[in-house]
Amino acid sequence: MTAENGKKKAFRLNAVKPVTNAWLSVLFGLLSFMCIFPFFYVFMISVSSEQSIRQSGYAIWPSEFSGAAYRFLWNEHDTILHSLLISVLVTVIGTVLGVLLTTSLGYVLSRSGFRLKGLFTWMTFIPMIFSGGMVANYVVVANLLGLSNTIWALILPLSLSSFNAIICKTFFKTTIPDSLIESAKIDGATQLVIFSRIVIPISKPVFATIALFLTFGYWNDWFQSSLYISDSSLISLQALLNNMMKNLDYIANNPSAGLSLQQYRNSMPSESVRMAIAVVIIIPIACAYPFFQKYFISGLTVGAVKG
């Protein structure tokens, strides 16, 4: 207790002046505000009535509130829920597959006695400095493997990355004692058993980190969809959001477009609906990330360790 007090006192002595502290609080308060204000603003637009949007544009505090956008989304819940299902499916399958691939590779790379270690290390390293790029990937995934308009086009290309594999390798190398592996081997365990029964249970932090990287990556992905998916039954939430923006613009820019579309558009609170979908996508992430953010940092700092 006294030691802690002493430490605190020393810290106080070295601290900035109270005025500086106040200015810093203001600065970071402003920056924090700037970072979350857009979300608040978009939410406010989503609960504005069409009438108030027509009158005063997107207001920070609308003159009239309305749940019409969310009611509209609820009426369209088949589409929304289907997209949600695709998003969840891609995220879950992708994360499980990705974690298995990444960690098994990381483990193999971390075994110093392994004969093919050099080969595997180069295999992981080369893609970090040279890649085929967007066109070549597209050609392989769409033309060669024929994965266009399948769920695998959304999952497979993103499941492994050299960066994540190296994070795992560094983690295993620094936290799992060789003697543990050796003694398990003497007991007759195969490497697969060692990996699944010993390595996985004691390496939960790195599994959590990789799983979170992948979860957010898959949940936020719209790019794979825009390249490979044209089938409307495979549209994820992000892709839906992406298409919403384009479709409404398309109608707005072409007044001569089909009347039925125009009528459909009139029936929906178009401005607020767009923002309501954005809110629906943001909410799960906004609720989840404060609990997971530390893993993102630990992952990066572990990966930064050389070797």
Residues 205-244 touching other proteins, rule: CB under 8 A, are 216, 220-223, 227, 238, 241-242
Q: Check residue 6 for interaction with other proteins (CB under 8 A).
A: no
Query: Token pair of 109, please?
Result: 């790379």
Exposure b/e, 61-74, CB count within 10 A at least 16 = b? ebeeebebbbebbe
Q: Which is nearer to other proteins, 253 or 260 (CB)?
A: 253
Q: Report if residue 197 touches other proteins, rule: CB under 8 A.
A: no
Q: Which of 140, 180, 202, 257 binds other proteins (CB under 8 A)?
A: 140
Q: Which position among 63, 143, 149, 254 is part of the footprint of other proteins (CB under 8 A)?
A: 143
Report helix, strand or coil for 35.
Answer: helix
Tell whether residue 61 is a contact of other proteins (CB under 8 A): no
Nearest distance, CB of residue 131 and other proteins, angstroms: 6
Task: Outline where 130-269 has alpha helix (H).
Answer: 133-138, 152-155, 162-175, 178-186, 191-193, 200-202, 204-219, 223-228, 237-253, 259-267
- Give the Cα separation of 211 and 175 in Å (integer): 19
User: Does residue 175 belong to the site contacting other proteins (CB under 8 A)?
Assistant: no
* Binding of residue 187 to other proteins (CB under 8 A): no
Half-sphere exposure for 252 (CA within 13 Å, toward CB): 8
DSSP character for 48? Answer: B
Which of the ranges 76-84, 88-96, 254-262, 294-302 carries the binding residues for other proteins, by CB under 8 A? 294-302
Which residues ranging from 259 to 278 are in contact with other proteins (CB under 8 A)? 271, 274-275, 278
Distance from C-alpha of 215 to C-alpha of 291, rounded to nearest angstrom: 14
Cβ of residue 278: shortest distance to other proteins, in angstroms?
A: 4
Q: Which residues on adjacent β-strands are paired with residue 65?
A: 48
What are the backbone angles phi and psi of residue 61, rounded to the nearest 5°?
A: -130, 100
Q: How far is the CB of 267 from other proteins (least distance, A)?
A: 20
Nearer to other proteins, 159 or 203 (CB): 159
The residue (of 14 and 260) whose beta carbon lies closer to other proteins is 14
Q: What angle do CA 229, 281, 269 make, to 5 degrees?
A: 90
Which of 167, 98, 166 has its CA nearest to residue 126?
Answer: 166
Q: Which stretch binds other proteins (CB under 8 A): 65-73, 169-177, 183-191, 260-268?
A: 183-191
- Piece in contact with other proteins (CB under 8 A), picked from 67-75, 84-92, 133-141, 257-265: 133-141
DSSP state of 258: -
Task: Determine if 246 is a binding residue for other proteins (CB under 8 A).
Answer: yes
Q: Is 258 in the site for other proteins (CB under 8 A)?
A: no
Range 89-108, binding other proteins (CB under 8 A): 100-102, 104-105, 107-108
Gap between the Cα atoms of 174 and 302, Å rounded:
10
